């Protein structure tokens, strides 16, 4: 839970960053991943940020709470800074605690495959662990092969590295980018964790957690962050929008049909139908992500912007993913 001094201190620290972000947001048009190397060299200290990822934050980085919260509610993957997941939408996660003593759980991840147009799911086993210099569990370790992950090796914590052109130099000896991935190339988990640091496990560092959202950073996602939003908050946003989603879709469809020469009482070609469909999908996702960004708890957004910068990948389509909120899934 927040304590007043920590909460107020955090909000004052990031106030200017928030104002700057709010001012700049309308100018950000490209939600798809751009060229990865935006500067010649970038020094990154993912777990050593002065305002986040240090032991003094205590309950704001509690991995066991993440397991407990996920066992009580469903969480949706809304924002991601690295490792785009083309071909997948509506990614959600629900947990089941298996041992409070050992701090273990099963996570069932449900997702929509845009190629097969079906919902599928996969279950992974996880446990809460401490990194080397922490007193509180701040790492969620997952085994992607259907077994419980080991407690060793101890999570190393921060892995400061420099990106230079097309090379990544880590300050630790762990060969993240050389890690072997035995899963099939089209496996969903390959997209969720594309650079697994070990065949046996994936570590996710808790950057921030509160009941309404949590932020995880992993070497397996190229050091990027994922923001998981509680279903309750997402459904509230969708309910508040009401008919705006359908109205926006219809507006985008009319604009696209005019753009591609599809007129009333005329039969569109297959190419025209595809172009219109892609335009509408792209437009509704951009609009919805911007809308959610402005309506999510400021604490979640400020934590994400301060520790992770802006997201680049779109993962939720309000039309396609409506079944995820109503739980009326297409059969697996």
Mapped to the 3 state alphabet, what secondary structure does the chain carry?
Answer: CCCHHHHHHHHHHCHHHHHHHHHHHHHCCCCCCCCCCCCCEEEECCCCCCCCCCHHHHHHHCHHHHHHHHHHCCEEEEEECCCCCCCEEEEEEEEEEEECCCCEEEEEEEEEECCCCEEEEEEEEEEEECCCCCCCCCEEEEECCCCCCCCCCCCCCCCCEEEECCEEEECCCCCHHHCCCCCCCCCHHHHHCCCCCCCCCEEEEEEEEECCEEEEECHHHCCCEEEEEEHHHHHHHHHHHCCHHHHHHHHHHHHHHHHCCCCCCCCCCHHHHHHHHHHHHHHHHHHHHHHHHHHCCHHHHHHHHHHHCCCCEECCCCCCCHHHHHCCCCCC
pLDDT-derived band of residue 268, with 50, 70 and 90 as boundaries?
A: confident
Closest CA to 318 of 254, 216, 242: 242
CA distance 239 to 254: 24
Q: What is the dihedral of CA 138, 189, 114, 225, to 10 degrees?
A: 30
pLDDT-derived band of residue 57, with 50, 70 and 90 as boundaries?
A: low
Residue found by looking up tokens 């996702």 in the block: 285
Query: How large a percentage of the chain has pLDDT more than 70?
Result: 72
**pLDDT score of 132:** 81
CA distance 332 to 324: 13
**pLDDT score of 69:** 96
Give me the residue spans of the domains in the chain. Answer: 33-231+315-326
Rank 48-62, 223-237, 247-261, 305-319 by mean pLDDT and report only the highest: 223-237
CA distance 128 to 65: 9
**pLDDT score of 46:** 44
State which fold the 33-231+315-326 domain adopts: Lipocalin (2.40.128)
Average pLDDT over residues 17-40: 39
pLDDT-derived band of residue 19, with 50, 70 and 90 as boundaries?
A: very low
Over residues 90-143, the pLDDT tens digits come to: 999 999 999 999 999 999 999 999 999 999 999 999 999 998 878 889 999 999
**pLDDT score of 222:** 87
Over residues 201-225, the pLDDT tens digits come to: 999 999 999 999 999 999 999 889 9
Count CB atoms within 10 A of the CB of residue 324: 24
Average pLDDT over residues 27-32: 41
**pLDDT score of 55:** 54
pLDDT-derived band of residue 44, with 50, 70 and 90 as boundaries?
A: very low
Rank 9-23, 42-56, 60-74 by mean pLDDT and report only the highest: 60-74
**pLDDT score of 167:** 40
pLDDT-derived band of residue 282, with 50, 70 and 90 as boundaries?
A: very high
Over residues 151-203, the pLDDT tens digits come to: 999 988 754 333 334 444 443 334 334 444 444 334 899 999 999 888 889 99
Closest CA to 223 of 55, 82, 64, 78: 82
């Amino acid at each position: 839970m927040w304590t007043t001094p920590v909460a107020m201190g955090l909000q004052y620290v990031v106030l200017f960053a928030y104002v700057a972000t709010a001012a700049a947001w309308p100018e950000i048009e490209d939600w798809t991943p751009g060229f990865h190397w935006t500067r010649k060299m970038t020094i990154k200290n993912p777990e050593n940020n002065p305002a986040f990822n240090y032991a003094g934050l205590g309950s704001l980085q509690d991995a066991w709470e993440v397991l407990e919260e996920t066992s009580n509610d469903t969480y949706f993957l809304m924002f991601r800074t690295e490792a785009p997941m083309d071909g997948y939408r509506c990614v959600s996660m629900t947990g089941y605690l298996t041992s409070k003593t050992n701090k273990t759980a099963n996570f069932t991840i449900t997702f929509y495959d845009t190629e097969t147009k079906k919902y599928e799911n996969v279950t992974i086993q996880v446990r809460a662990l401490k990194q080397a210099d922490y007193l509180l569990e701040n790492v969620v370790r997952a085994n992607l092969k259907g077994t419980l992950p080991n407690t060793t090796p101890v999570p190393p914590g921060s892995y400061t590295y420099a990106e230079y052109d097309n090379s990544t130099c880590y300050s630790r000896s762990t060969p993240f980018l050389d890690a072997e991935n035995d899963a099939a190339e089209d496996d969903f988990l390959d997209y969720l964790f594309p650079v697994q640091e070990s065949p046996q496990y994936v570590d996710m560092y808790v950057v921030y957690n509160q009941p309404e959202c949590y932020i995880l950073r992993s070497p397996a996602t190229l050091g990027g962050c994922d923001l998981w939003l509680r279903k309750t908050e997402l459904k509230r946003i969708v309910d508040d929008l009401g008919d705006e989603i359908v109205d926006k879709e219809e507006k985008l469809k009319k604009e696209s049909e005019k753009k591609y020469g599809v007129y009333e009482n005329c039969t569109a070609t297959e190419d025209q139908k595809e172009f219109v469909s892609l335009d509408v999908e792209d437009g509704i996702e951009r609009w919805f992500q911007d809308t959610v960004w402005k309506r999510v708890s400021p604490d979640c957004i400020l934590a994400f912007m301060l520790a992770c910068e802006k997201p680049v990948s779109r993962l939720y389509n309000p039309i396609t993913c409506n079944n995820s909120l109503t739980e009326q899934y297409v059969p697996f």
